Amino acid sequence: MRSIVLALALIAGPVSAHELWLEPEDFTIAPEATMTVEIVNGSDFVGQSLPYLPQRFAAFMNFTPEGASNVPGRIGDQPAVQSQPPAEGLNVLAYQSRENLVTYDDWQTILDFVEHKDLTGFLEAHAARGFAQEPFTEVYSRYSKSLIGVGNAQGSDQRTGLETEIVALTNPYTDDLSDGMRFQLWYRDAPRANVRFEVFDRAPDGRVTQTFYVTDAQGMVSVPVQPGHDYMADAVLIREPSPQLAEANNAAWETLWANMTWGIPAP
C-alpha cells in the first residue's frame, strides 16, 4: 500500500500547532530498567515537560502482552513516568487528557490552523451554524500514545479505548521495516478515511522534518522510517460540541487530537 504524500520533508514552520506527546528517555530498554517518560506540550519535538498530575488526565494506561495497567506515578513527578515496566515486550502507553479550552485571538490564526491540519469543510460548517468570522473558544482533548520496546519488545499495538487514536500495525522494534511503518487511524468505532496524517521525523542530529500523508479508505497509512530516528504522528478532528459542553464552556467547536511517538533503533 502506498500513501499519498502531500508535502515531502517540509521543515516544520511557524504555523505548527501545539501537540501533546509522550517522550521516553529511551524507546528501547532492558526489562529491569526504569521506564522514564515525559509528557510534553509543544511542537516540532520541542516543548515544555509537564509533571504527573492526575487531575490533568482522564486515563493513563500501559498495554503489554500480559494485559493493561494504570501508569504509576507520584503527584508532581517530572519526568512524569519513572517506574519499572510491568512486563517484557511491547509496552504501549496511552494517555487521555481532560478537556481544556483555548480562545483564538483572530480569524487569521483560525485560518492558519484549519489549513495546517487540513480540516476540510470546517469553514463551510462554521458559516452554516451562523457564526461570524471572529474569535471563538474551542474545547480540546488529547489522546497520546507511545511505543516502548522492553527486552525482546515482542507484541503488537491495539485499540486501547481512546475516542480517537492511532494504532500501529507494525512493531518498530521487531518487524521488517523495509516498507515502512503502517498505521490505522480511528474515531470511535470507525476508521478515519481520507484525512491528514502528520508525521514529525527527528534525525540523530536533532533536525526535525514534517511530512503530510493522507489515510486511505480504511484509515490506513504507510510511513517510511530510518534507523536511529525518532517519530511523532498527529491527526486532529473537529466536531460540534455537545450542547452541555458548549454551554458550560461557551465553546463553538471541539477538537480531538490523536498522537503517537515511536523510535527506530540504530543499526
* % of the chain residues with pLDDT over 70: 94
Range(s) of the domain holding residue 219: 4-263
Q: How many helices (H) and strands (E) does the chain have?
A: 3, 19
Segments in the chain forming alpha helices (H) = 107-116, 122-128, 243-249
pLDDT at 10 over 70: no
Average pLDDT, the chain: 93
Q: Which of 51, 23, 27 is nearest to 37 (CA)?
A: 23
pLDDT at 9 over 90: no
Cα dihedral sign, 69-70-72-77: positive
Task: Write the pLDDT tens digit of every residue in 69-114.
Answer: 999 999 999 999 999 999 999 999 999 999 999 999 899 999 999 9
Task: Work out the number of other CB atoms within 10 angstroms of the CB of residue 216.
Answer: 17
Mean pLDDT for 180-194 is 98
Q: Which of 84, 83, 68 is nearest to 159 (CA)?
A: 68
pLDDT at residue number 18: 86
Report the number of distinct structural domains present in the chain.
1
| 46-50/57-64 β-pairing | unpaired
Residue with the bigger pLDDT between 3 and 75: it is 75
pLDDT tier, 17 (very low <50, low <70, confident <90, very high otherwise): low
pLDDT at 153 over 90: yes
Q: How far apart, in whole angstroms, are the C-alpha atoms of residue 231 and residue 260? A: 8
pLDDT at residue number 11: 32
Task: Write the pLDDT tens digit of every residue in 30-59.
Answer: 999 999 999 999 999 999 999 999 999 999
Q: How far apart, in whole angstroms, are the C-alpha atoms of residue 257 and residue 236? A: 5
Q: How far apart, in whole angstroms, are the C-alpha atoms of residue 260 and residue 233? A: 5
* Reported pTM: 0.93
Q: Are residues 124 and 243 in contact, defined by beta-carbon separation less than 8 angstroms?
A: no
Task: Assess whether the previous peptide bond of 265 is cis (omega < 30° from 0).
Answer: no
Contacts of 106 (CB under 8 A, 6+ apart): 135
* % of the chain residues with pLDDT over 90: 93
pLDDT at residue number 12: 33
Amino acid at 35: M
pLDDT at residue number 194: 98
